[in-house]
Amino acid sequence: MDDTLGNGTTMEKGVLPDAPETSVRMSCRNINVFYGEKQAIYDVSLQIADRSVTALIGPSGCGKSTFLRCLNRMNDTIEGCRVEGEIMMEGKDINSPVIDPVLLRSRVGMVFQKPNPFPKSIYENIAYGPRIHGLAQGREDMDEIVEKSLRRAGLWEEVKDRLNLAGTSLSGGQQQRLCIARAIAVRPEVILMDEPCSALDPIATARIEELIDDLRKRYCIIIVTHSMQQAARVSQRTAFFHLGALVEVGDTDQIFTSPRDRRTEDYITGRFG
């Protein structure tokens, strides 16, 4: 199972080196982000550990989603958005011109707030990415990728008999797991999640959280969440953002029992005005 989802691809055009096994998966240094004249992120440096969940928390507008979007260059798509600083992954700056953003985004997948399956069958939702990246040799190979991805996303048993049904026919929680399966299908190393449970009921949320806990054995996961309890439940590291700055980062246990910064304390105890 591991060999097919191993590090066979690279985000760099035309080169296929082995991905080094490191405990730090992404290393961000002095990140500044501007929307036109307005600065949204101020000098953020953050190391992101592999095979663990890092939660980004903070009040609305604190820059956590903007920062998350830097990690797979989603901000490229926003008119007037400028990102400064260095984001190293496997020894390369992901903002360097040699990096193909489309390949980068297959290595650094993303799951959004609202489940957004393609208006196609469940099968095609998963198969689309591997097909355009040339990851499957034939129909049998593709079937295997689809099944493996759905299994890993904890959705296989629920949909295996109706793979030709539209992805949009599933419940909200199932759709979100479908989107996670879709992200997994292109063999990413990092999965970004931007409030993946905010549109889901508590049961569907619990299933996603269970899934996140399972996925972290294999992937580096970074999750933006408004629920402090969720950050406390699913993450091993927590970073608190405020007014575009990274205020505090540490082990989740420490952040939620003994935060060092007063602003973190005020935020997580519900004291922010």
Residues that bind another protein (CB under 8 A): 228-229, 232, 256-259, 264-266, 268-273
Nearer to another protein, 106 or 264 (CB): 264
| Separation between Cα atoms, residue 226 and residue 57, nearest integer Å | 6
Nearer to another protein, 100 or 266 (CB): 266
Rounded least distance, CB 258 to another protein, Å: 3
Rounded least distance, CB 230 to another protein, Å: 11
Contact (Cβ atoms closer than 8 angstroms) between residue 135 and residue 103: no
Rounded least distance, CB 266 to another protein, Å: 7
Rounded least distance, CB 237 to another protein, Å: 16
| Separation between Cα atoms, residue 193 and residue 72, nearest integer Å | 11
Nearer to another protein, 69 or 263 (CB): 263
The one-letter amino acid code at 137 reads Q
Distances (CA, A) of 123 to 50, 71, 118, 150, 234: 29, 28, 11, 9, 29
Rounded least distance, CB 241 to another protein, Å: 17
| Separation between Cα atoms, residue 20 and residue 18, nearest integer Å | 6
Nearer to another protein, 108 or 268 (CB): 268
- The DSSP-derived string for 86-119 is EEEETTEETTSTTB-HHHHHHHEEEE-SS----S
DSSP 219: S
| Separation between Cα atoms, residue 192 and residue 69, nearest integer Å | 8
Nearer to another protein, 219 or 256 (CB): 256
